[in-house]
A and B are shown apart, each in its own frame.
Chain A
């Protein structure tokens, strides 16, 4: 009996398993390749350190990190959500990195109190509305979206989505679970349609008149507004942005961030990369290219973002979003939010 398949596999293992260049840093990233690779290339060009990248869903990467244990090649874990960084910290796959430069540049609310991870960019979840059908004066806060006046007028995506889970987790942190569940029920009642599609689809639905309000992340709107396709730009221009909760705690935010892994073999290179990602150049790139808000203060944001003005942001400890994520999902399950 022969095992030709096994032989073939053995060869591929040998081919791919060998040859490691000297100076390198290995990155597991939940941030999509297109949204991180240019920065990493820039880093390699500046320092001569090779960056090896794997991108995948954060939870799957976390499982991979856990399974690989102390032999994991990963040095840096990048996620697009503070909750996942919190989970990674809980799972023991990150190590603290006390670094005065990093601590100076990243505000305390945007990083782990014990320095296991640092926020790199900020996204805000805002309300967009059709100005011809909605008066900005009618809008106030996330909480006010539960008002009767919005019955059948709101578009928002599915509760599967981490942005909504984070938002609801922040509401639980501020208002408690019962109040948030009532709010979620009212939201479901106010939905113009069953949750479908992504954030862009909600914006399109407002533009098409299917609903009057939508809750979306700012960068989706900004990207549509700077799209090559004039039709897409027109959609973005037909809606307006409202910053909720400005009179009190501020708009709900979440961060993308990174932490050094517990068994990082290239710890110093990882630190260098992390420092680079908080540099002015890198922060500027986030703002210009991805239309995110920089984590570092004083960086100029993109034109679109400038047009929407400044805002105050919720300074809730982001770790709490991670801790309350499961409760948020259960609240939405009970409220019948698909």
Chain B
């Protein structure tokens, strides 16, 4: 075999390893169709399905509206508070959906802050529409993030042409800007839908039976882990279709034209400007500020006693796991994407697809996939050691921090893979050829050309993975080593024990820990995108 072929095989094997927990889940079908399917079909499955579809449609529509509109406003207009809002709009994603659900329940409860302050009867949030609202608030930043950079990178020419043809601002948005940004928006939407369908905490607390709660109910209640895994893989199949749709959209993606002039932002002044500001404050207010205030109010009485060294330990663990996962996910994502860039053969193409499945499986199911995959690896290692007459090493992977980081990496790998894939696609292959012919081997080329040019997608996916891992719960919960707690684990344990006041402090810490990278990376991203993307497009003509 030739050297590139051997490497392709290695890349593919890496992808198989990353996909192994998902494959373990899918392998549940090998055991035969579970007898409980008939019962599920006759009773609850139609309800699960209907609720999941409504939830996905509602959250999809909600996040599209909020995410796209806010991205358009921030990318195209100047208004009071523009600088702050451009990053503040990302903040709600720092909040785990289930915590938002608990917090809003508290806010809207008869004795809650909001109900008291407004003295109005407020609707009960614990319903399907309520779950849609919660998930929309937490997830719209994905679309905002993707759409904003797409809008910023659009050339002014297309919009000016539309204008010269007599198109007003609305028509320009719907007929020109939106279709041009569609691939980016759909990529964001795919992430939103996957998170929505895999969400458990929110719908479970709100009493909305969905496919995801159904999976757990089948496992915990019926004790049928096989049927649960089969349901999860059916869900996965739906996700794969979504991914496929998304990829299809990206294939038809238009590359921005050469010598693009960035459209400058038009200024909206006076009351109109303030109206835009007020509108954009709403998602930040509902998705971040109000819940944070409620959490602060809950945790205030015990702030002194709770802020001890153990709390710092929680914070440290959370940051450690999030940092390691970010490094691994972004590193492996880069490796897969760059390997495919170098030699776009079938093995490497499949590798990037394979590695993208983890996001689509409900967390605890994926965690069990990891448990099984790592457990059997450990068994094999021990068997081999025994056969070689060596002392049994015991558990090498199971129950270590490695297991947690591995699981989180598997779960979030799709974020850098998709982000970098789109980013790489925007770079002309001739940049590589120029660099190679100028005497740079692949690694040097990567360091000097791709890395600087991929800053924006790298920073964006690192941010998403970091914040997602901070919030991550099920995999950490099941896989962690002894005495290793994180903020998310602590917050969840207390909240699920209906001790909201005690859960408030770790929850608040998750929000704050997510806040700083959001601010830092948004600034870096904005600067980088303004400097380098202006340059990138200039040398990538439309017919390349």
Does A pair with B?
yes
Tell which of A16, A160, A325 touches B216, judged by Cβ atoms closer than 8 Å.
A160
Bound Cα distance from A67 to B109, whole angstroms? 43
> Which residues in B have their C-beta under 8 angstroms from that of A162?
220-221
Interface string of A135-172 (1 = CB under 8 A from B): 00000000000000000000001111010010000000
Bound Cα distance from A326 to B110, whole angstroms? 37
> Which residues in B have their C-beta under 8 angstroms from that of A47?
none
Q: Quick check: is B95 within 8 A (CB to CB) of the other chain? A: no
Tell which of B42, B221, B371 touches A63, judged by Cβ atoms closer than 8 Å.
B371
Q: Quick check: is A309 within 8 A (CB to CB) of the other chain? A: no
Q: Quick check: is A134 within 8 A (CB to CB) of the other chain? A: no
Residue in chain A with minimal CB distance to B11: A1
Is B378 in contact with A71, judged by CB distance below 8 angstroms? yes
> Which residues in B have their C-beta under 8 angstroms from that of A165?
221
Given contacts A55-B493, A231-B111, contact A196 B126 (CB under 8 A): yes
Given contacts A63-B225, A158-B207, A197-B105, contact A8 B395 (CB under 8 A): no
Tell which of A1, A56, A194, A197 touches B477, judged by Cβ atoms closer than 8 Å.
A56
Q: Quick check: is A132 within 8 A (CB to CB) of the other chain? A: no
Is B372 in contact with A67, judged by CB distance below 8 angstroms? yes
Residue in chain B with minimal CB distance to A60: B478
Is B222 in contact with A67, judged by CB distance below 8 angstroms? no
> Which residues in B have their C-beta under 8 angstroms from that of A33?
485, 490, 493
Interface string of B389-422 (1 = CB under 8 A from A): 0001011111111100110010000000000000
Tell which of A17, A53, A59 touches B400, judged by Cβ atoms closer than 8 Å.
A17
- Looking at A32, A228, A329, A330, the one whose CB has the most chain B CB atoms below 10 A away is A329
- Looking at B43, B206, B376, B502, the one whose CB has the most chain A CB atoms below 10 A away is B43
Q: Quick check: is A179 within 8 A (CB to CB) of the other chain? A: no
Q: Quick check: is A43 within 8 A (CB to CB) of the other chain? A: no
> Which residues in B have their C-beta under 8 angstroms from that of A45?
none
Q: Is the interface of B mostly helix, strand, loop or mixed?
A: helix
Q: Quick check: is A333 within 8 A (CB to CB) of the other chain? A: yes
Q: Quick check: is B52 within 8 A (CB to CB) of the other chain? A: no
> Which residues in A have their C-beta under 8 angstroms from that of B400?
12-13, 16-17
Is B477 in contact with A326, judged by CB distance below 8 angstroms? no
> Which residues in B have their C-beta under 8 angstroms from that of A73?
394-395, 399, 482
Q: How many residues of chain B have a CB within 8 Å of chain A? A: 84
Flag the segment in A92-100, A198-206, A272-280 that touches B: A198-206
**A265 smallest CB distance to B (angstroms):** 9
Q: Quick check: is A52 within 8 A (CB to CB) of the other chain? A: yes
Bound Cα distance from A121 to B209, whole angstroms? 31
**A290 smallest CB distance to B (angstroms):** 10
Is B364 in contact with A13, judged by CB distance below 8 angstroms? no
Is A330 in contact with B39, judged by CB distance below 8 angstroms? yes
Q: Quick check: is A54 within 8 A (CB to CB) of the other chain? A: yes
- Looking at A66, A195, A235, A333, the one whose CB has the most chain B CB atoms below 10 A away is A333
Is A338 in contact with B209, judged by CB distance below 8 angstroms? yes
> Which residues in B have their C-beta under 8 angstroms from that of A204?
109-110
Q: A67-B376, A160-B204, A204-B110 are in contact. List 12 more A-B contacts (CB 8 A).
A: A15-B401, A35-B497, A53-B482, A55-B477, A64-B371, A64-B479, A71-B378, A158-B204, A196-B124, A197-B105, A197-B205, A330-B43
17 contacts between A and B (CB under 8 A): A3-B14, A5-B335, A8-B328, A16-B400, A57-B478, A63-B478, A68-B375, A71-B379, A73-B395, A196-B207, A198-B498, A228-B301, A231-B111, A326-B224, A329-B222, A330-B43, A333-B39
**Which 6 A/B pairs are nearest by Cβ-Cβ distance?**
A67-B375, A52-B482, A196-B207, A329-B221, A5-B328, A333-B43
